[in-house]
Structure 1
Amino acid sequence: MKAQNPSQDPLNIAVFLPGNEPSYPDSPVKGRVSFVPSPPNMASPSIQITNVRITDEGKYACEFATYPGGNVRGTTQLVMLAKPENSASAVRVVAGTKPVAVAQCQSANGRPAAEISWATAASGNYTTKSKTETNNTVTVTSQYIMVPTPNDNGKDINCIVSHRTLVKPENFKMKLEVEYPPQVSIVGYDNNWYMGRTNVELTCQASANPSPTSVLWKSITGDLPATVQQNENVLKVLKVDETVNATFICEVANRIGTVKEQVAILVRGE
C-alpha cells in the first residue's frame, strides 16, 4: 500500500507478503496504519489509519504483484474534512455618513473553506477574506458593511455559514446596534390656546439610542413662566395667560449628543 503527495515520490506505508507478517515502513502514518482484518485477507486487503490528521490527505494506491500478469494497481483519494468553529456578533456603531462594519462573522479552522452569506433588510454589502492556517485549515472572516442610520437600529441581520461537515447551514440571528443622538418633536399645541384656558400641555417626544439622559424645558427668554410646570418630558400649563405667549424649547441629551426643538405659542384672546 502506497501514499503519494503530488510533490513527492510515492511512499510504501504497508506491505504484506503471503507467509510473512505485515510490515510498515517509515512514513508519516507509521504507528497509525494497520491492515484490517488482521491477519490481512489477500482477496480484499484494507488498511485503517487512526488519529487521522489533515496532513494524511492525499492519493493512496493498493498495488498487487501477480505472476505472470504483473502488477495491478488501484487508487483512491483521501479527502480530509475539518469542522469549523463558527461565531458571529453585531458591532455597536454610531449613525453617520460613512460605510462601517456593523456585524462580523467568522468560520475558523475549517477544511475546506466555509461559505458565508448574509440576510438582512438593511441596505449594504459584505466583504469576505480567507486565511490558510498552519495546519492547512482555512479561517473565513466576513463583515457586513453599510452606512448606519437611526432607522437601521434593531433591524434583523443573519449570518449564514455553510460547510460540508454541517447537516444544514448554521444561522446566526442578530439585531443591528446603531447609536444615534435624540430625534425630538413637540406635540400638544393645537393653535387654540386662549386666555383662561386650563390644563393644556406640551409633550417632548424623543427617540434615541442610548436612551436620553436628560430632558430640559425652557422658554426662549429664559425661565419658565410661573403658570407652567415641568414633569419629566411634559410641560403642563395650569392656566393660559399672557406669560405663555412665548417660544418653548425642549432640549434632550444622551451620550451621543444634545438636540433642541422648539414651538411658538400664540395666545388668543377669550
Structure 2
Amino acid sequence: MARHDAQNWHVCSKMIGLLCLAASILLQHGVSGQRVKVEPEVLSYPGQTVNLRCAFTDATGIQLTMVTWIYEPKDGDRINIAVFHPNFDPNYPDSPVKGRVSFTPSPPNLASPSIEISNVRMTDEGKYICEYATYPRGNEQGITYLVMLAKPQNSASIVTVEAGTKPVVVARCESVDGRPAAQISWVTTANGNATTVSKPGANNTVTMISEYRMVPTAADNGKDLSCVVAHRTQVKPESFPLKLAVQYAPEVTVVGYDNNWYVGRTHVVLTCLASGNPAPLTAQWKTMSGEMPDTVQITDNVLKVLKVDDTVNTTFVCEVKNRIGTGKDQVTVFVRDTRLPEKGATTGSIIGAIIGIIILLVIIGTAIAMYRKHRNNKLNGDGPPKYKPPPPKKTTSSASRQLNTSYAPVTEDRPLPDQYYTTRSAEPVTDLDAYHDDDENGEDVREHYHSAAPSGWDDPGNNEVPPPYMRTDSDPQDYHQGPNVKRGESFVSPAMFV
C-alpha cells in the first residue's frame, strides 16, 4: 500500500513540474511580448509619410544591446531595413524602402527607436517588426501591419439581353484598383445569381468584377436590380440602382368583342393591345378569309365595324412585329339575327338599393309616428298618473265626514238647490276594515283625495295649486260642502262644486 502511494506521488510530482515549466515559458513569452510596445496596425494612402512607433516599456534588469527593423512583405522573405547600435551610427541596408526610411527622432535612442517611411507606395504594404537584442533574455519583438489603402473606382451597367431559356449575364458591376479588395453584392427580386472574380490592378491594387446571371423572361423586363459596393475607404456602401432590359417579341391581345354582334348593329370596335421590347411600331389587321369587309374601317390598332352584316361573320387577326419577332391574336365573330337580351350589369345593385331605401323610409316613418303619438299623449294628459293616490279611510256610521275642518259649516238655512252633486267621483269602498283605524282624528286634507281623482291633480302637500273647490288661507270666500251622508245610508261620493 505504501509502495502504491509512493508511485502515485512520483507521477503527480512529475505532472506538477511539467505544468510549472509550461507556465513559466508562457509567462516569459507573454512578458516578452508585452515589453516591446508597437501599434498593431497603421493605415496609409500612397504618397503619404507613415510613422511606425516602437518602445521598450520596462528595461529593469535588462541590458538593451541593439534594435533592428525588419520588413516582411505579404509574399516574400524578411529584409532588414534599419539597424541601430548605441556605439555606432544608424544603418539602413538595401531594401525596397532604402532612401525613404529613417529613425525618428534623430539621433535615435534604444528606449524608443521609431522609424518613418516617406512617400509610401502600395508595394510597401506588409509586416514591420521592431526587434530588440537584449541581455540576458535575448531577442524580443513587436509587430506592426502597414495597410495601404486605395479608393477604387466603382461602376455598374446593365446588359440588354433577349428572352430565352438559358442563363446569361444581365448586369455587370466593377470595383477597379482598390486596396484592399472591395466587396460586391446584389439586391433584386429577379431569380438569378452572381459570380464575382478578382484580378490584379495597377500598383499592387485589386480589381473586383461581379456579374449577375439569370434566365431572362418577358416578365423580368424593367425589374429593379442594384449593385452594392462596400470598401474600407468608403464611409458607407455605394449603391447603383439598375433596371433589367429584356427584349422579347410582342405579346398581343384583341379586346372589344362581346359575343352580341347582330345584323344591323352599328359602330362596334375591336382594339389590338400589344407590348414588347423594343416597342412594336404598327399593328396589321387581316381576316382568315383573306378579304376585309367593306363596312370595316381600320385606324392604327383599332378596327371599327360601321354596320354589322353577314360579311363580318369571320375571324379577325391582329399581327404585330418588332425586331425580336412577331406576335398575334385573333377573334372569331358570330353574327346573330337578333340581339341577345341585355343583362343589366347593375340589376342586383339597383334592387338592393331600392330595398334599402324602402327599409329606411319605413324606419323613418315609424320613428315619426311614435314621436307624434308620444307628443299627443302628453298634450291630452293620457299618460300615467304622476302620483300614487292614498288609500281611503274608514269612518264610523255616526260620524260626519267633512272635506276640511277649516271650512265654514253648512247651515240648514242655505237652500239645497245651491248644492251640486256628481256621480263621477271614486267608486265606493266596501272593505274599510283593511285600512288604518288610528287616523280618524286629526286627518289631513290629503285624506279627501280618492284613488279615482282625475289624472293630473297632485297632492296639495306637494306645494301645487289645489282644486277650485278647496279653500286656502288667502281666499276670503267661504265655500260650502255638501251635506254629511253616512256610509251606511248611501254609497254616493261627496259632492264636488262646479
TM-score for the superposition, normalised by structure 1: 0.89
Please say if 1:223 is aligned against 2:301. Answer: no
Is 1:266 the counterpart of 2:334 in the alignment?
yes
Following TM superposition, by how much is the alpha carbon of 1:31 offset from its aligned partner in structure 2, in angstroms? 2.7
Partner of 1:113: 181
Q: Deviations over 1:109-163 (max 9, x none)?
A: 2233222221111111122222234644322222111111100000001112222
Query: Structure 1: how far apart are the matches of 2:99 and 2:274?
Result: 71
Name the one with the larger helix percent: 2
Partner of 1:90: 158
Aligned mates of 2:231, 2:78 — CA distance in 1 = 32
Please give the alpha-carbon distance, in whole angstroms, between the structure 2 residues aligned to 1:55 and 1:79: 10
Does 76-85 or 20-29 show the bigger shift?
Answer: 20-29
Give, as a single letter, the amino acid of the residue that structure 2 aligns with 1:81: L
After TM superposition, give the deviation of residue 92 of structure 1 in Å.
Answer: 0.3
Of stretches 232-241 and 174-183 in structure 1, the one that deviates more from structure 2 is 232-241
Deviations 1:82-127 (A, max 9, x none): 3322221111000111111111112222233222221111111122
* Equivalent residue, structure 1, for 2:254: 186
Indicate conservation of the 8 Å contact 2:287/2:315, yes or no.
yes
- CA separation of 1:44/1:265 partners in 2, compared to 1, >3 Å: closer, same or farther? same
Aligned to 2:76: 7
Distance 1:44 1:239, change over 3 A: same
Residues 168 and 223 (structure 1), Cα distance of their counterparts in 2 relative to 1, 3 Å cut: same
* Aligned pairs for 1:79-228 within 5 A: 79-133=147-201, 135-228=203-296
- CA distance in structure 1 between the partners assigned to 2:278 and 2:108 by the alignment: 71
1:78 to 128, 140, 146: 146
Q: Distance in 1 between matches of 2:99 and 2:265?
A: 97
Greater shift, 2-11 or 241-250, is seen at 2-11
Deviation at 1:35, TM superposition (A): 3.4
Deviates further, 28-37 or 60-69 = 60-69
Name the residue aligned to 2:447.
none
Superposition map of 1:225-264 within 5 A: 225-264=293-332
Matches within 5 A, 1:52-67: 52-64=120-132
Q: Using a 3 Å threshold, how does the CA distance of structure 1 residues 66 and 245 change in structure 2: closer, same or farther? A: same
Over the matched positions of the two proteins, sequence identity in percent amounts to 64
The 10-residue stretch of structure 1 (16-25 or 43-52) with the greater mean CA deviation from structure 2: 16-25
SS at match of 1:139: strand
Name whichever of 48-57 and 19-28 sits farther off: 19-28
Q: Please say which of residues 53-62 and 34-43 is displaced more in the overlay.
A: 34-43
Superposition RMSD on alpha carbons, in Å? 2.4
- After superposition, the C-alpha distances for 1:224-250 in whole angstroms (9 at most, x for unaligned) are 222111111111111212221111110
In the other structure, the counterpart of 2:418 is none
| CA displacement 1:153-204 (0-9 Å, x = unmatched) | 0000111222222222221110000000000000000001111111110000
Report the residue type matching 2:181 in the other structure: A
CA positional deviation for 1:72: 4.8
The separation in 1 between residues aligned to 2:78 and 2:239, in whole angstroms, is 44
Q: Return 5+ residue gaps in structure 2 as ranges.
A: 1-68, 339-498
Q: 1:208 to 1:45 in 2, by over 3 A?
A: same
TM-superposed deviation, 1:215: 0.8
AA of the residue aligned to 1:235? L
Deviation of residue 38 (structure 1)? 4.7
Residue type of the alignment partner of 2:283: V
| Partner Cα separation in structure 2 for residue 256 and residue 66 of structure 1 | 80
| Contact map agreement 1:180 1:209 (CA 8 A) in 2 | yes
How far the C-alpha of 1:41 sits from its partner, in A, is 6.2
Indicate the structure (1 or 2) with the bigger Cα radius of gyration. 2
- What amino acid does structure 1 have at the position aligned with 2:285? W
The answer as to whether partners of 1:213 and 1:255 remain within 8 angstroms in 2 is: no
Structure 1 gaps of 5+ residues are none
- Provide the secondary structure at the position in 1 that maps to 2:219: helix
- SS of the aligned residue for 1:96 comes to coil
Contact 2:174 2:209 in 1 (8 A): yes
Residues 35 and 263 (structure 1), Cα distance of their counterparts in 2 relative to 1, 3 Å cut: same
Instruction: Tell me the TM-score normalised to structure 2 length.
Output: 0.50
Q: From the two aligned structures, give the one with the greater strand fraction.
A: 1
